[in-house]
Amino acid sequence: MPKGDSTPLSAPPELGDMSADDFRRHGHALVEWIARYLDHTDRYPVLARVAPGDIAKNLPAQAPETGEPFEAILEDVDRVLMPGVTHWSHPGFMAYFGISASAPGVFADFLASALNQQAMLWRTSPVSTELEEVTLRWLADLIGLPPSFEGVIYDTASVSTLHALATAREAAVPGVRAHGLPGRGDVPRLRVYCSDQTHSSIDKGVMLLGLGHDALRKIPTDDRFRMRPDLLRTAIAEDRVSGWRPIAVVATIGTTSTTSVDPVAEIADICEAERLWLHVDGAYGGVCGMLPEMRGHFVGLERADSFVVNPHKWLFTPFDLSAFYCRRMDELRQAFSLTPEYLRTPDGARNLSDTGVQLGRRFRSLKLWMILRYFGADGVRARLREHIRLAKAFADWVDAHPDLERLAPVPFSVVCFRANLRGRSMSPADLDAFNEALMHRINASGDVFLSHTKLRGAFAIRVAIGNLRTGEAQLRRVQELVSLGVGTNNEKRPPETTNLSSSLAHRGPGQTDM
């Protein structure tokens, strides 16, 4: 390949990468493959129809000794891998949280991998370092976080929360970075508080940090699954008397099971009075700060010490991208920064690897930038509102259905319900078994995929709306499958369908209450 004088020859082709011609050929084929896939994810059953081991047994036990044509590899994607895919991009995916790998996000990941930026230092990727700062500021402004919050991108909310708790530990126990926790007479047992609905990543965080699972005290919730501030206050007082040292509270805006919203403002009052770190987990619900009509859920957030929201959950971002915000980021850096000689640079710039445990950092901000530009703030809001509207409509249908029972309020886009048949008295265990079987029957259709939780001990089916492809048709299909499962045959179905349609008439998100 001839090049100009100033461009030295690189590695010989047989020891280099794929040629540019081959890259074009395979790249274009892959674009066609992905376009077909994304356009027709509904050709596949949502939930993979394989048993554990089915994929592995179709793969060779050893890597090939000789390289293979890329065409052969792509053929095996179809033949060997695709049967093992659970289709998170399927319009009927309504399990866990509905998430979306939107096209601009997928393109951004493609480009980020090609650029292979590693933003451990500013100089190793000025663009990734600065685009991270800019896009996180964009997101903060959209959500309503004041400028006192500085942002950084991690991979997952588990890691974001871990950094929040680590900094809370550092703030509470001066010198813990240097001297640690064991063998010190001056460090009492530390306590972290969250509700009984809080995500399990908090549990993992306190375990990893050496606080121990005992350090996490779970505060009971009210009938809407919100942390009870009165019981939080009592717990802190009790603990202080018993020799624990309270250090942090985790409140959630949009819990995993029901998307309930803890009373952040009241919890912030307590944290201020007690001088505790307040971390707010908005991994799922946080993006709704973009909707003025939802801001009520966010009152008090501006007083938090740290906050996490995951664009890979409900901001149409391919997995993974967790946005962490902190009002005390200098303390976080004090807890983590270390600069060995080989990482010293003369530019005086802020290096992102000082803001956490991970030295290496993929160019994740590129996807947040492309997504916010492609959809625009207004486009994002419209999509969030549509998901909330669909959830509200589905909740109304559940409420109107004589054989169904809604088990939680619907502040965002997740509906928890169960079948509870008229005139049939079942034991709690039988009712759970009936609903579990119902969910599996629905999932076996291949058209939709729902997950479950337990609420006050009862098995609850969850319908989580958040995928860009999900629309009314998928919810009608859930209604059909649920109706079939509770014995409402098709002839008797009109009222339900009407309910969905009628509730679709009064637009606007609003919160569906119990």
Instruction: For its own copies, give the closer residue by CB, 156 or 497.
Output: 156
Give the torsion sign (CA, 305, 513, 196, 452).
negative
Instruction: For its own copies, give the closer residue by CB, 16 or 292.
Output: 16
Residue with tokens 């800019």: 134
Instruction: For its own copies, give the closer residue by CB, 377 or 484.
Output: 377
- What residues form DSSP beta bridges with 414? 464
Instruction: Specify the long-range contacts of residues 394-401, CB closer than 8 Å, at least 24 apart.
Output: 394/463, 394/465, 394/475, 394/478, 394/479, 394/500, 395/512, 396/499, 396/500, 396/503, 396/512, 397/479, 397/496, 397/499, 397/500, 397/503, 400/495, 400/496, 400/499, 401/496, 401/499
Minimum separation from the CB atom of position 306 to its own copies (A): 16
C-alpha to C-alpha distance for 164 and 323, rounded to whole angstroms? 12
Minimum separation from the CB atom of position 198 to its own copies (A): 10
Q: Which residues contact 320 (CB under 8 A, 6 or more apart)?
A: 155, 156, 312, 364
* Sheet order of strands, 277-281 included: 150-154, 322-326, 306-309, 277-281, 245-252, 190-195, 216-219
Minimum separation from the CB atom of position 230 to its own copies (A): 25
Instruction: For its own copies, give the closer residue by CB, 267 or 460.
Output: 460
Residue pair 418/458 in contact by the 8 Å Cβ criterion: yes
Minimum separation from the CB atom of position 131 to its own copies (A): 7
Minimum separation from the CB atom of position 156 to its own copies (A): 4
C-alpha to C-alpha distance for 425 and 191, rounded to whole angstroms? 43
Instruction: For its own copies, give the closer residue by CB, 33 or 402.
Output: 33
Instruction: For its own copies, give the closer residue by CB, 23 or 487.
Output: 23
Instruction: For its own copies, give the closer residue by CB, 54 or 293.
Output: 54
Minimum separation from the CB atom of position 223 to its own copies (A): 19
Give the torsion sign (CA, 202, 203, 209, 213).
positive
Minimum separation from the CB atom of position 292 to its own copies (A): 14
Backbone angles phi, psi at 150, to 5 degrees: -100, 145
Minimum separation from the CB atom of position 46 to its own copies (A): 11
C-alpha to C-alpha distance for 133 and 369, rounded to whole angstroms? 11
Instruction: For its own copies, give the closer residue by CB, 243 or 423.
Output: 243
Tokens at residue 430, please? 């039988």
C-alpha to C-alpha distance for 115 and 124, rounded to whole angstroms? 12
Q: Can you say whether residue 7 is alpha, beta or left, with left for phi > 0 and alpha for psi between -120 and 50 degrees?
A: beta
Q: Which SS3 state, helix, strand or coil, does residue 296 take?
A: helix
Q: Pairing mode, if any, of strands 190-195 and 93-94? A: unpaired
Minimum separation from the CB atom of position 301 to its own copies (A): 19
Q: Which residues contact 362 (CB under 8 A, 6 or more apart)?
A: 112, 117, 118, 119
Q: Which SS3 state, helix, strand or coil, does residue 429 take?
A: helix
C-alpha to C-alpha distance for 235 and 432, rounded to whole angstroms? 32
Instruction: For its own copies, give the closer residue by CB, 5 or 422.
Output: 5
Tokens at residue 358, please? 């991970």
Within its chain, how far is the Cα of 31 from the centroid?
27
Q: Is 56 exposed, middle or buried (0-12, 13-18, 19+ CB in 10 A)?
A: exposed
Minimum separation from the CB atom of position 404 to its own copies (A): 20
Instruction: For its own copies, give the closer residue by CB, 100 or 512.
Output: 100
Instruction: For its own copies, give the closer residue by CB, 249 or 268.
Output: 249
C-alpha to C-alpha distance for 448 and 101, rounded to whole angstroms? 18
Minimum separation from the CB atom of position 276 to its own copies (A): 16
Instruction: For its own copies, give the closer residue by CB, 409 or 466.
Output: 466
Instruction: For its own copies, give the closer residue by CB, 27 or 510.
Output: 27
Minimum separation from the CB atom of position 76 to its own copies (A): 8
Residue with tokens 């530990």: 169
Minimum separation from the CB atom of position 422 to its own copies (A): 27
